[in-house]
Homo-oligomer: A and B are copies of this chain.
Amino acid sequence: MDELLRALEAADCSAVLSAAQDIHYADLASLYENLEDGKRDLLLKTIGPELATDLIAELPDTLIEDALGHFKPAQLRVLLGNLSDDDRVDVFQVVSEEAQVRFFSLLGPRDKELTRNLLKYEEDTAGGRMTTRIGRITADMTVKQAITVLKRDREDTETLARIFVVDDQGRLAGKIRLRDLAFSTWDTPIHDIMEDAGEFILATADQEEAARTLSKYDLVVLPVVDEFHHLLGVLTYDDALEIVQEESTEDIEKLAAISGEQSEVSYLNTSVGMHYRRRVAWLVGLAFVSIASGYVMYRFSETLEKAFVLSLFLPMVVAAGGNSGGQAATMVIRAMALGEISAGNALRIAWKEVRTGLFLGLSLGIAIAAFIALILPHLQNGTGADFDFFHLAAAVAAAITVQVLSATVLGALLPIGARAINLDPAVVSSPSLASTVDVSGMLIYFTTAGAILNLH
C-alpha cells in the first residue's frame, strides 16, 4: 500500500501498475476512496479497465459514476463487460439517467438483455441483489457431463459451493454439492446424488428476509426463483453479510435520528456538508416539537413558582420517560429486524411491556422517593413551601411511575404501529420518541405534583 502511495506521489506509472497488481481489490478500493481527484485519475488510467473492474465493484455507490468517467468508451465497454452481472446492475442502479443510457449502449446484446431483466427488481430485494452466474445442470446428466458443463462455465460462476439442478422448464428441481461431484464416479447420474433444493426465496422478497433465511439455515447460497419457481439466480453468503451490515447501520442511524440512506462512504470521507444534511432536518423538526414541552412548562409557571423545589426533579421525570421509552422501542425494533416478532404479536408485546414498565416505574419511584424523603431533609432547610418532604416524595414517585409506564408501553407499540402502516419501525427513533414523551412528562409531573401538594 505504501509503495503504491509513493508511486502515485511520484507519478511513476510502471511502479503504480506493479504495486496495484499486488494489492487486494478491497484494499485498492479503500485506498482509492482516500485519494485526491488527480491521483484517482492517475491510478485508474494506469491500471486500466481490466484491473479496475473489481475496484469499481467495491466502491461506495456515490463514487462509482465519477470513477467510470475516467475511462474512454472502448475501455468502458471492456470494464462493463467484465463486471459480474449483479455488480453491473448495481452500477446502473446508482448512476445518473444520462450515464445509464450511455453505459447501456456499450453493453453486448446478452448483457443488455440480462441487465434489463435484473433492473426489474428493486435494489433492496432478493432479485436486485442476486447473481445469475450459476452452474445450471439438469437431473438427466451424468457426473461427467455436469463437470464438463461446469468446467466450461468455471470462470463464469460466482460460486460452485452448491450447484442447483433445474428441470427442462428451468424450474428449480434440486441441488448437488461440488464435493459429491468430486467424490462420485463419472457415470453416476445426477438424479442419484441430487438432494432436495431446500430453502429458496422469491425474487421480489425483501433483501433482509433473504439474508435472514440464508443465515438461519447456514446456507452458502440461497436460490432465487420467480413466482413460477423458475431458477433466476442465487444470493450468496457474502451478499448476506453485506445486507446485514448495511441494514444494521441503517437501523442504528435511524434510531439516532440521522436521515438519508447510509451511503457506504466511510465516516472520514463523508463531507461536512453531507454530515450536516443527514442530521439537520431531524434536529430542527425535533426542536420545534420541544416547544410543546416548553409551552406546558410555561402554562404551569404558577405551580412552579409556588414550589420551586419541583424544578429539582422536573428534568428527571422528563428524561426517565424518554430513556425508558427508548429502551422499549429499541428492543422491539431490533426484534422486528431479526424477524422475531411481527405486528400480530402486538397484544403479547403490550402485556410484557405493561408489566416491565410498571416494575421499572415503581423501582424508579421508590428509589427517588427514598432519596427525597431520607436524604433531602438533611441537606436543606425545608422545601420553601407549605408541604413536607414526604408529600414531595410521593408526588415525584407517582409522576415518575406513571411517566415510565406510559412511555415504555408507547415506545414498544409505536414501532409496531409504524410497521402496520408500512413505515420502517426505526423511524420511531429515540430522539423523536423522547420529544413526544417529554410533553406528557411535563403534564404528568405538574398535574400530579399540583394535585398531591395542593398547589392549584
Q: Which residues of A contact B (CB under 8 A)?
A: 24, 26, 147, 151, 154, 160-161, 178-179, 181-183, 198-199, 211, 214-218, 220, 237-238, 240-242, 244-245, 248-249, 251-253, 255-258, 266-268, 272, 275-276, 279-280, 282-284, 286-288, 290-291, 293-295, 297-298, 301, 304-305, 308-309, 311-316, 318-320, 322-324, 326-327, 329-332, 334-335, 338, 340-341, 345, 348-349, 352, 355-356, 359-360, 363-364, 367-368, 371, 400, 404, 430-431, 434-435, 438, 442
Contact = CB atoms under 8 A, between A and B. Distances in A.
B26 A435 contact: no
**For the complex of A and B, 7 pairs with smallest distance between CB atoms:** A248-B248, A267-B335, A256-B330, A293-B315, A290-B316, A182-B182, A294-B312
Contact of A237 (B179, B241, B256, B272): B241
Contact of A367 (B284, B314, B442): B284
Residues of A contacting B: mostly: helix
Contacts of A301: 308, 311
Contact of A283 (B256, B320, B335): B320
A8 to B, nearest CB: 21
B294 A315 contact: yes
A297 to B, nearest CB: 4
B244 A248 contact: yes
Protomer copies: 2
A73 to B, nearest CB: 29
Given A245-B338, A435-B319, A237 B220 contact: yes
Contact of A26 (B147, B216, B238, B272): B216
B331 A315 contact: no
Contacts of A220: 161, 220, 237
